[in-house]
Amino acid sequence: MKTRNFLTTAMICLISCNLAFSQTGESKFKMMILNPTESKVAALFTSFELSNLTFIDANQNRELDGKENGTISFYVKNTGTIPLDELNVNLQTADRMPILGLTYGNIQNIKGLNFGDSVLISVNLAADEKLLDGLAKFEISIKDTRSDSSKIAQLEIPTKEILNPPVFRWISPSSETEVAQFGAADISGMVKSKSRITDIKVYVNGEVPNDNRSFEVLTGDNANEYKINRSIFLNEGDNIIKIVATNAQGVTTSEVRTINYFVQKLDANYVEKRLALIIGNANYAGGNTLANPVNDAKAIAVALRDVGFTVMMYLNSDQKSMKKAINDFGEKLQDYTVGLFYYAGHGMQVNGNNYLIPIDAVLKVEQDVEYDCVNSGQLLGKMEAAGTVTNIVILDACRDNPFSRSWSRSAGSAGKGLAFMDAPSGSIIAYATSPGKTASDGTGKNGVYTEALLQFIKVPNLSLLEFFQNVRVEVEKKSNKTQTPWESTSLKGNFFFTIK
């Protein structure tokens, strides 16, 4: 009887202790547990669950904005019948790639979680100004280090990039205070804004100019950046200028720029010395006669005299006369402030150089061009050497080359129209059409390009760049956009044909 009771007691003790030993000596949980009070036997197992996975942000709008913090939180509960020694908890992006502008903390492992107990896990998120619009996808994985069982949950958090009022940076005027020699000035700057710019205004001495002009807005080299520019008329004395840019997020006012303008150059005692050389070639040898260059040259000469130019005009000139005219022009120009050269007639490019064609040129082969024509570089050199403040070169010479038809097909270095030339410092080179293209001689008294020049040359208070912009618009309209005038510029100041 005593022996049987001893065996029974020993068996109960072994079951209650929940332990047995394997052949390797490692301890393992038994598969049974005894509940002495209810006289029930249940299975031993490990289990856990992840619940109440949530995201809370500082703004409580369930999305993470730039420069905002948030928290991912969830509960881990031991749903098994035995304690959990250690759980590895890992938070990472679903694609294992970092999210620009977003950082988050590491999760500590969970140790010694008793059955039936829960633990709250919180992970802090921090977004900076680089965060973009999108969806941050996270994956939470929990692994039991003993049984290798695991749980995986996913969470998606909308992200929204931070939007700020515009940021403005001056281009021109580049310094806080500048002095102007003319009654108008070009102002420009860069505006950075991720959202649409709704308004841009310029204030001069506290008032918006009443000139019906608006800013030209161009896309910048960098994302969300725009170049703005326009011209303003200056008041006598100090002109205090500021730019106000607006988007949906707010208003930005630029730093102040001051332009000092004194009218001594506009009074009766000041005369800006202007010299123009005009050449119009129409009666070419071999019957290659053009209709308009002589008419164009005469009309331009009259218009330039009316706006204060001394004019040297040559019509139907041979090579000798053209070269002499250019040399004389270069010598006289040293005593002038502004130089202007206008040419109407045939011109061509060969090996990247532009040549003006005299009326006596007989170009049987392409190689004759260099010896029988006038290289435009000669003219540019004379103007640059004269030391004038502003040089203007206008070439209405982009017509079809009549000589190339007789040249060998192997002569392929002569291109259509004129080649692009870099303007020397303080100069602008204007072409009747874009480089490599040809322009129409027109059907009226004047060519399409020269007609547009004449239309705007006497319009007061147009800066030189605005003048050529207006010419371009007019030529494109009259040519149904088949001809687009072009300019190369390195001007260092404003020039106005007429100021009132």
Q: What's the average pLDDT block by block, 10 residues per block, for the chain (500 residues)?
A: 45 38 33 52 84 93 91 94 92 91 86 93 92 92 89 93 90 91 85 92 93 86 91 90 94 95 53 91 81 93 96 96 96 95 90 88 84 91 93 82 52 59 88 74 80 93 89 90 89 84
Q: What is the DSSP letter of 138?
A: E
Question: Cα-atom radius of gyration of the chain, to the nearest Å?
Answer: 42
What confidence score (pLDDT) does residue 352 get?
80
Q: What is the pTM of this model?
A: 0.50
What gap in Å lies between CA 488 and CA 432, rounded to an integer? Answer: 12
The predicted pLDDT at position 42 comes to 64
Domains along the chain with CATH numbers: 10-43 (no CATH), 48-160 (2.60.40.10), 167-265 (2.60.40.10), 274-489 (3.40.50.1460)
Could you say which DSSP state residue 106 is in?
Answer: P
- The type of residue at 251 is V
Amino acid at 133: D
Distances (CA, A) of 315 to 74, 95, 391: 91, 76, 22
Smallest CA-to-CA distance from 254 within 167, 165, 163, 173 is with: 167
Residue by residue, DSSP assigns 197-223 as EEEEEEEETTB---S----EEEE-SST
- Burial (CB < 10 A; 0-12, 13-18, 19+), residue 298, is middle
Answer whether 402's CB lies under 8 Å from 346's CB.
Answer: yes
Of 478, 426, 481, 428, the closest CA to residue 450 belongs to 478
The SS3 assignment for 415 reads: strand
CA distance 270 to 486: 33
Place of tokens 């000035």: 185
DSSP alpha helices (H): ranges in 57-141? none
CA distance 475 to 477: 5
**First and final CA of the chain: distance in angstroms?**
132
Element (H, E) at 119: strand 118-127
Distance of CA 353 to the CA centre of its chain: 32
Residue 27 backbone dihedrals phi, psi, to 5 degrees? -80, 140
- Return d(Cα 208, Cα 37) in angstroms, integer: 92
**Contact assessment for residue 63 and residue 157, using Cβ atoms and an 8 Å cutoff:** yes
Angle between helix axes 376-385 and 319-332 (nearest 10 degrees) is 20
Whole-number Å distance between alpha carbons of 32 and 450: 105
What is the sign of the dihedral through the CA atoms of 351, 472, 481 and 229? positive
> Residue 87 is encoded by which pair of tokens?
């759980």
